[in-house]
Amino acid sequence: MNRSKDELNMILEELQKKQEFIFTQAKQSDLSRHTIAPVLEELCMRISKIMSCDRVSIWLFNESHTTLTMQNSFHKKDSAYSSGVKIFAKELPSYFEAVQQERILAIEDASTDPVTKELRQHPFYDEGEVKSLIDASIILGKGIGGVVCCDSTELRKWSYLDRVLVASIADMLSYIFDRLERIEVEEHVQQLAYTDQLTGLDNEYSFAEKVTKQIASFKEGQRGIFYYLVMDQFTEMQGVLGPDGADLMIQITANRLKKLFPYPSQTARLAFDHFVIFSPFDGELENEKAKMELIVNKLKQPMHVSGQEVYMTFSYGASVYPEHASNVKYGIQAAYMALQSGKVATNRKSGIVYNPEMHTYLKETMLSEMNLRRGLDMNEFQLHYQPQVNCRTGEVIGFEALIRWQHPERGLIFPGDFIELAESTGLITPIGEWVIQQAANQIREWNEQGLNNVTVSVNLSPRHFLHHNLPFFLEKCITEANIKPKSLVLEITENVAMEDTEAVAKRIHLLKEMGYFISIDDFGKGYSAFIYLQHFPIQQIKIDRQFINGLGKNPKSSGIVQTIIHLAEMLGLQTIGEGVETKEQWDILKGFGCSELQGFYFSRPIPVDEINEMIRKYGRGGKLLLPSA
């Protein structure tokens, strides 16, 4: 078939329109497996016009490339669409081989060509009386993902232009399907960010979101009760049963809670053995308390763990919305305080309901127990450092400073056990300042030892990050230590960035201008709002440990990590994989193009003396390469 010049121009014009159409469709954020069908129908119809073909179909391979499933097809004769047909490699081996080897498969006479010899007998092809066909492979992130087929009932000599057209159509389809895949992975990241992986219960974020919505739709007189529930002697049992046994106990408890608190109650796991529950009610509080006592009794039924019968008891504190708390965050806090005050007052934590006096009482008791201020004055805090390495070369490029408290009576205390208290009492600011000062001096020392471009990352709490004095304090420390601001990396968590957008955005911009390097810690654990991050001039994201942990074990984790790295790359951000524990995880991350790594595989966080020992042993010419790398 010869085409005139006018016809060619028309085709090119149509192609351009088509391209625009496809790109607008593909960019739509609500593109999903459910909304794609009409888009594909329209495409097949338009492709049939551009290619002057009688039938156009779009197919995707399964994972093992043994099946092609038709996503959509347009049949010109009766303007009919169809989808869902499957063809199999075992029936059509020559065709399957050919579409995977050639970018374009142009067949002039399907009745004689060896590639189509099996196709001729196939029911799908009989009905269309296919004489000629031109197919192009659709290339996706992981290789050939599908094929677009244009069939003609006439014998056609496929021209160069036909080939160019079909290839560019296939490229546009690649764009659409790639985007679809990415959206799905992003959705999965979101889902992970909203679910507790161990139990499948909601996590704190989704709990807060759901309960906030519920409260907003409360009718007059409706109230809600928050329970903060923990297992008694969980830590001891963990010691006896091991981490897997402890996980199983948590899962069993979660399953029981799901049954005992059906909708409209909401249940979430916050961490370890800590659960929160919200139950709306409109009667007497006393009735709710009685119900809860029954439930806690049911929770005591024995659990079968590691071949043993385990009997656990539970304690809880409760608070009531709206009397004790105006929102979810305060509701949880008040219930937690009630739980703690039960423990302090009676040594038997049990169904205590919050009252406002607890607030001051509890704070004082806890503070006398864990006097952070004294700890700071007595120099009881220390920093441990964990190396961070270049993912390609394994060379150490910096360290993360992690605080520990050497308590005179209680021994070494990890940050998880006191940072929250420091936050709530405001002591986090002087503690954070101490950390920054130590880190700055340490950078200076390491520079003097010949590690020239070494960086140290410090963790900044939300409260400290927004503190008016932070920029001045940073300036003072780096001037005194005589180091460059970019050698001090400031880690904030995603949730800080979400808290008070405007103030946070201003602060990030200012610190960036002052030359500091800003990193988002535990990325993926919170809201994973990439779109949001675009507005902040940050330089680095640290991919949360839970995703790294799944690498090599759980194919979804790999997809997620790969997407995070890919999206970060598009935004020009560096990526650090956190919690790397095996060589396999390292290899996978290297394959994905991750920039840096940190984790027990290279080294645990260790005191500065041990780091210096490492530098003495393994440092060469300003470079440090650990034996594990």
Number of amino acids touching ligand C2E (CB under 6 A): 22
Residue 599 partner contact from Mg ion, ligand C2E, none using kind-dependent CB cut-offs of 5 to 8 Å: ligand C2E
Is residue 375 near ligand C2E by the rule CB under 6 A? no
Residue 419 partner contact from ligand C2E, Mg ion, none using kind-dependent CB cut-offs of 5 to 8 Å: ligand C2E
Is residue 414 near ligand C2E by the rule CB under 6 A? yes
Site for ligand C2E in 597-626 (CB under 6 A): 598-600, 605
Residue 351 partner contact from Mg ion, ligand C2E, none using kind-dependent CB cut-offs of 5 to 8 Å: none
Is residue 522 near Mg ion by the rule CB under 5 A? yes
**Binding string, residues 466-505; x marks residues near ligand C2E by CB under 6 A:** -------------------------x--------------
Residue 325 partner contact from Mg ion, ligand C2E, none using kind-dependent CB cut-offs of 5 to 8 Å: none
Cis omega (within 30 of 0) for bond into 387: no
Which part of the chain contacts ligand C2E (CB under 6 A), choosing from 143-151, 195-203, 578-586, 617-625?
Answer: 578-586
Radius of gyration, alpha carbons of the chain: 31
Residue 442: CB minimum distance to ligand C2E, A = 13
List the one residue out of 218, 624, 307 whose CA is nearest residue 450: 624
Is residue 416 near ligand C2E by the rule CB under 6 A? yes
Is residue 107 near ligand C2E by the rule CB under 6 A? no
Q: DSSP 3-state assignment of 166?
A: helix
Residue 435 partner contact from ligand C2E, Mg ion, none using kind-dependent CB cut-offs of 5 to 8 Å: ligand C2E
Q: How many angstroms separate the CA atoms of 128 and 108, rounded?
A: 16
Residue 25: CB minimum distance to ligand C2E, A = 40
Q: In the set 151, 433, 491, 596, which binds Mg ion (CB under 5 A)?
A: 491
Whether 312 contacts 300, CB under 8 Å: yes
Cis omega (within 30 of 0) for bond into 264: yes
Site for Mg ion in 340-359 (CB under 5 A): none
List the one residue out of 20, 43, 4, 292 whose CA is nearest residue 146: 43
Is residue 402 near ligand C2E by the rule CB under 6 A? yes
**Binding string, residues 62-101; x marks residues near Mg ion by CB under 5 A:** ----------------------------------------
* b/e burial code for range 536-567 (CB count within 10 A of at least 16 → b): bebbbbbbbbbbbbbbeeeeebbbbbbbbbeb
Q: In the set 57, 447, 455, 459, which binds Mg ion (CB under 5 A)?
A: 459
**Binding string, residues 513-542; x marks residues near ligand C2E by CB under 6 A:** --------xx--------------------
Residue 146 partner contact from Mg ion, ligand C2E, none using kind-dependent CB cut-offs of 5 to 8 Å: none
Residue at token pair 């085709």: 11
Number of amino acids touching Mg ion (CB under 5 A): 5
Q: Is the dihedral angle over the CA atoms 236, 242, 248, 251 positive or is it negative?
A: positive
Alpha carbon of 542 to those of 483, 523, 550, 570: distances in Å? Answer: 24, 6, 16, 16
Strand partners of residue 352: 317
Whether 115 contacts 100, CB under 8 Å: no
Q: How many angstroms separate the CA atoms of 349 and 342, rounded?
A: 5
Whether 541 contacts 160, CB under 8 Å: no
Residue 429: CB minimum distance to ligand C2E, A = 10
Which part of the chain contacts ligand C2E (CB under 6 A), choosing from 28-36, 167-175, 466-474, 594-602?
Answer: 594-602
Residue 428: CB minimum distance to ligand C2E, A = 6
CB-CB neighbours of 495 under 10 Å: 16
The 8-class DSSP code of residue 219 comes to P
Residue 610: CB minimum distance to ligand C2E, A = 14
- Residue 379's Cβ-count burial label (10 Å; 0-12, 13-18, 19+) is exposed
List the one residue out of 53, 39, 99, 44 whose CA is nearest residue 73: 44
Q: How many angstroms separate the CA atoms of 436 and 444, rounded?
A: 12
List the one residue out of 337, 519, 325 whose CA is nearest residue 424: 337
Residue 415 partner contact from Mg ion, ligand C2E, none using kind-dependent CB cut-offs of 5 to 8 Å: ligand C2E
Residue 183 carries which side chain, given as an amino acid letter? I
Residue 483 partner contact from ligand C2E, Mg ion, none using kind-dependent CB cut-offs of 5 to 8 Å: none
Which part of the chain contacts ligand C2E (CB under 6 A), choosing from 194-202, 207-215, 244-252, 412-420?
Answer: 412-420
Residue at token pair 């949880």: 332
Q: Would you tell me which residues interact with Mg ion (CB under 5 A)?
A: 459, 491, 521-522, 578
Q: Would you tell me which residues interact with ligand C2E (CB under 6 A)?
A: 386, 402-403, 414-416, 419, 432, 435, 459, 461, 491, 521-522, 545, 579-581, 598-600, 605
